[in-house]
Amino acid sequence: MKLKVTLFLLLISYSSLLKAQSESPYTYEIFVNNGDTLKYRMLMPKDFSEEKQYPIVLFLHGAGERGDDNEKQLVHGSKLFLNQINRGAFPAIVIFPQCPKDSYWSNATVNRSTKPITLDYPLGKPPKEPLSLVMHLIEDYVNKPYVDKNKIYVGGLSMGGMGTFEILYRRPNMFAAAFAICGGGNPESAKEYATKTELWVFHGAKDNVVNPQLSIDMVSAILKYGGKPNFTIYADDNHNSWDSAFAEPDFLPWLFSKSKK
C-alpha cells in the first residue's frame, strides 16, 4: 500500500510539473535557418498588440544551462522578466535561446584544468553556429513591424556574458544597450562597439570560475575606445554574481531607458 501511495504522489507531482511547464508564459519556439535549428523560449508583452512597438531583450545563458530540452536556459534570469511589476512597467519581447551541450556562444577556447578556468578569445574566426543562429533570429525579429528597432538589448551571464561581448563585436550597430555578468572577451573587440552600445558589466570579486580580471580588462578596453560603461564588482560574490545584478533596483530601468544612438 505504501508503495502505491508513493507512486500515486509521484504521478501527481509529475503531472503538476508538466502542467506548470505547459502553462509557462514563455512559449516554446524553434528557429530554422539553412537547415540548422535553434531552440528558444519567448515571453511576449501582456496585452500584446501588433499595432504597438516593443523592445527586444535577448538573454544568453551560461554553460550549465546548455542542452536540447528548451528548458534549462530559463533557470537564471527568466523570473526577473516574469515579475508582474516589471512586466507591467517594461513591456518587451524577451528571448531565451538555448545553446547545445557540445557548443559555446563565443569562440572562446576553454581550459577547465585551472581555477579560475583559462580562457582565450581569438578574433578573426567565424561565429560558432549557435551564435550565428541567434544573430539570424534577432535580425528576423528586428524586421517585424511591432518591434522597436531602436530598443534592442542583449545580455547574459558567464558563457552568456562572453557571448554578449562577442555578439556586440559582430553586430555593433544592432544593440542599444547590453549587460555582461561574470563574462569576458577579447579587449580589442571593444573598439567596434564601445561608443555605439551602452554597457553595464558585473562581476564577483571572489569568482573562482571566471576570473574577474576578464571583466576589468573589457571595461578598461571600452574606456580606452571611448565608451562610458557602468561597472559593478561585488566584493563578496563568487561566480553567481547574477543574483546581485538582478537585485539591482536600477538594472531594468537603466536597460529600458536606452535607445539606439
CATH of the domain at 228: 3.40.50.1820
Identify whether 211 is part of a domain: yes
Integer-rounded Cα radius of gyration of the chain: 19
Identify whether 3 is part of a domain: no
Identify whether 7 is part of a domain: no
How many domains does the chain contain in total?
A: 1
Identify whether 136 is part of a domain: yes
The predicted pLDDT at position 21 comes to 46
The predicted pLDDT at position 23 comes to 74
By residue range, what is the domain housing residue 134? Answer: 26-256
The answer to whether the beta carbons of residues 121 and 111 sit under 8 Å apart is: no
The predicted pLDDT at position 15 comes to 47
The predicted pLDDT at position 261 comes to 75
**Tens digits of pLDDT across the chain (261 residues):** 544 544 444 445 544 444 444 579 999 999 999 999 999 999 999 999 999 999 999 999 999 999 999 999 999 999 999 999 999 999 999 999 999 999 999 999 999 999 999 999 999 999 999 999 999 999 999 999 999 999 999 999 999 999 999 999 999 999 999 999 999 999 999 999 999 999 999 999 999 999 999 999 999 999 999 999 999 999 999 999 999 999 999 999 999 999 997
Identify whether 5 is part of a domain: no
Identify whether 18 is part of a domain: no
Identify whether 21 is part of a domain: no
Taken in order 110, 116, 121, 126, the sign of the CA dihedral is positive
pTM, full prediction: 0.91
Identify whether 173 is part of a domain: yes
The predicted pLDDT at position 155 comes to 98
